[in-house]
Amino acid sequence: MPKGPTKRRPQTRAALLSAALEVFAELGFQSATIEQICDRAGYTRGAFYSNFSSKEELFLALFDAHSDAVLTRLRERIDGLGKDGLTLDDLAELVSRIDPSERDWYLVTTEFTLHAIRDPQAAWLLARHDARLRAELTGAVTAFLAAAGRELTVDAEQVSRLLIALREGGLAQSYVEPDQLPPGQLERDFVGPLLAALSRPTTG
């Protein structure tokens, strides 16, 4: 039977991740300190270093957790539509739903991306996690198109890159001008036509 510290480890890790998201969003990745994250979570530096080796590793754990949550919600929404009569507009509507909490994550991930652009090692690490997200998104989009009776005519991973760029670029504009461009509006307007132009009906 696991000992107490081993049993508590998932709770400690979860608390540190939650605190880190709050502190990073408030202060920025560069300005936030490990001490501030530990204070917010109610743990010691020892607890931090038993779970993460650095702020970068902590961010990447947040990145993976966020990616998994977004993809899980997308798959659940797609499954909720059933398999009959799916349209590209259905997918556009699904991906246009932006949770209000996404703003904090956008602040955090944008700053870390700038950090990675300046730091080759951080860029290499972030690229590996980005690749995992793209692979999962590629599979989800390809499966949806197949269920809708369509197939891509261009490289599927490049389509995933384009969809991510649309989302991130749209959110950047939305958070600056929310009255002019509500979050998710670009996806709602253009994902359907975009995928229609990059796919064709399946044959046979």
Place of tokens 């005519």: 153
pLDDT at residue 7 in the model: 64
106: domain CATH number is 1.10.357
Which pairs count as long-range contacts for 152-157, CB under 8 Å and 24+ apart, including other chains? 152/198, 152/199, 153/198, 153/199, 153/200, 154/198
pLDDT tens, residue by residue, 54-70:
999 999 999 999 999 88
Looking at the predicted structure, is the pLDDT value of residue 3 above 70? no
Helices then strands (H, E): number in the chain? 9, 2
Whether residue 181 sits in one domain with residue 102: yes
Range of the domain at 194: 55-201
Q: Are 191 and 148 in contact (CB under 8 A)?
A: no
What's the predicted TM-score (pTM) here? 0.86
Selection from 22, 23, 41 nearest residue 33 by Cα: 23
Same domain, 25 and 100: no
